[in-house]
Structure 1
Amino acid sequence: MARIDVNGLALDYELIGDEAAPPLVLTPGGRYPRDTAGVPELGEKLAEGGFRVLLWDRPGCGASDIAFTAPSESAMNCEALVGLVEALELKDVTLVGGSAGSRISLMGAARMPENVRRIAIWWISGGPVGLAGLAWFYCGDQIAAASKGGMEAVVQLPSWADQIGRNPGIRDILLAQDPDEYIATMQRWGKAFAYSDESPVPGMTEADLAKLTMPVLTFRSGKSDMAHTRETSEWVHRLLPNSTLVEPPWGDQEWNYVSTFPVDSTNRRGRFERWPLLAPMLLDFLRG
């Protein structure tokens, strides 16, 4: 475990596997930290399979710092990913991620396509209702709290409890925000999730996706998954020049099933706990 300054933010990260192995960045979803059940377990399998795996806490996740100057939360995380890769001097990287991690991987690759060897993505958030849900999940409760009780109410939100527990400085960063400016920022960040008929991934254009000429493994979402719609995964696949669309190693109701799992780090429970099932398919593709 280590911390490094990237774009003025202290980011928490860990590298596992052979130091001489090719680098792979594994990015989880939500605002979940890198030690969320299923993430380090998948990382270990990928390391055992021959990669030097970077596990990291995105800004506002886990023990990393946060700022509110980026045009969107996804852009902030994407810039952090690119900056972290540069700061650690990682070359010819592989990017792997699910849910928000898939979006950040794609956005990061579009900013450094010459340094990305391969990509693997699953649970790509999308669809009008799915993206509206993200806007509320990430920004709605923040706006409601700040409008009622200022930043003192924001720091009391359950959505910040884990981060403040790991990095008490997050509380100070939040309390230093002007409530009206914070609400305006959350409105902008929420708007960044707006659905568009022009692109399946908020924050990316068709031209951005066309830049990604490296091999990409795209796992098709379940028909029943309304957070990461099947149409979104198929749309992304069609726009990527070199994508292979495959079925995941679980059934159609997977997202609905794991969404009921308790978040319990001690007993290694959570909605990502079955991600290690992806390892054989990932390794088969990524070693190519």
Structure 2
Amino acid sequence: MEINGGDVVYEVLGHSGDLIALTPGGRFGKDIPGLRPLADALVAGGYRVLLWDRPNCGASDVQFYGYSESHMRAETLMRLVTGLGLGPCIIAGGSGGARDSILTTILYPELVTKLVVWNIVGGVYGSFVLGGHYVVPSILAVRGSGITGLLAIGEWQDRIAANPANEMRIRDLDADAFLKVMLRWLNAFVPKPGQTIPGVEDGSFDDISVPTLIIRGGEDDWDHPKRTSLEVSCLIKGSVLIDPPWPEDAWERAGEKFAASGGTDFCLFDTWVQAAPAILEFLGR
């Protein structure tokens, strides 16, 4: 579907039941290992599941606009669900997908019936890591080599490999306009008083009134701190907070396994399927 001038790739699993829009973390697409087993388990529980490649993820077109990348994704999800005539629906996501889901619920409350989030990013370390990983390399590339410098970055090379049209979309970017957007996106990741999660004002959580399930972060998870999920549970009135169904150190052990494989064995989301029983129980209330 074309949304705001870019193609968005999606698929819907299941044939009946309420729709769950399921969003992974990072800049990973719908085919990232670990996501589909969770989607299949939710379908087996009687739901339909929307999987989608957000802009800059998977085979969708690259796009650069909005207050933050998550704000852009929230608008895209709203237009995707409404364009398909599948709303209102349940919104669910983990890690960066949790932030995208929270923002979608805040900005487009008419779209959402229930909210389920886990692995919520926050804290100084988690926020700076995201900004340094997803934004700073592109800024440095363009400042040093112009827009064509983006073509040397592995992440954008992957987007071109998945969708060759992205090469021309990148080449057609205006360097000054692109840098302006990147600085805005980077600023969203700078920790600020009154922002428990990057780029989202604490006061805006008052706009979330739907039933909400929060699976808290692991005890020593620096990327998705336990403290952040506890604070979010305080900000969303009436939300339900549960312990993670996976081991407390699941994220750390998966990260070690991923690093030891040289980046070839992606297992960061393998435990997510373990959340299916708790999610289904919550949705069935």
Q: What TM-score bracket applies, with the shorter chain setting the length?
A: over 0.9
Instruction: After superposition, give the CA deviation of every residue in 1:190-221 in whole Å (9 maximum; x if it has no partner).
Output: 00112122121223223321111111111111
Number of aligned positions between the proteins: 282
Distance 1:208 1:6 in 2: 25
Aligned-pair identity (%): 34
Give the aligned partner of residue 132 of structure 1: 128
Moved more, 143-152 or 23-32: 143-152
Distance 1:199 1:218 in 2: 18
Distance 1:173 1:208 in 2: 34
* Equivalence map 1:3-152=2 (5 Å): 4-18=1-15, 20-152=16-148
* Equivalence map 1:234-253=2 (5 Å): 234-253=230-249
Gap regions ≥5 residues in structure 1: none
* Equivalence map 1:156-235=2 (5 Å): 156-235=152-231
Moved more, 88-97 or 32-41: 88-97
Shift of 1:247: 0.5
Cα RMSD for the two superposed structures: 1.7
Moved more, 169-178 or 42-51: 169-178
- Please state which structure has a larger fraction of its residues in helix: 2
Letter in 2 for 1:248: P
Shift of 1:125: 0.7
Shift of 1:78: 0.9
Quick check: 1:123–1:219 contact (8 Å CA) kept in 2? yes
Distance 1:186 1:79 in 2: 18
Quick check: 1:22–1:92 contact (8 Å CA) kept in 2? no
Shift of 1:63: 0.8
TM-score (norm 1): 0.93
Instruction: After superposition, give the CA deviation of every residue in 1:42-90 in whole Å (9 maximum; x if it has no partner).
Output: 1111011111100000001011112223222111111101111111111
Letter in 1 for 2:10: Y
Distance 1:260 1:53 in 2: 30
Give the aligned partner of residue 275 of structure 2: 278
Gap regions ≥5 residues in structure 2: none
Moved more, 150-159 or 35-44: 150-159
Quick check: 2:213–2:282 contact (8 Å CA) kept in 1? yes
Shift of 1:236: 0.3
Distance 2:272 2:128 in 1: 25
Quick check: 1:220–1:230 contact (8 Å CA) kept in 2? yes
Quick check: 1:37–1:268 contact (8 Å CA) kept in 2? no
Quick check: 2:74–2:100 contact (8 Å CA) kept in 1? yes
Distance 2:170 2:3 in 1: 19
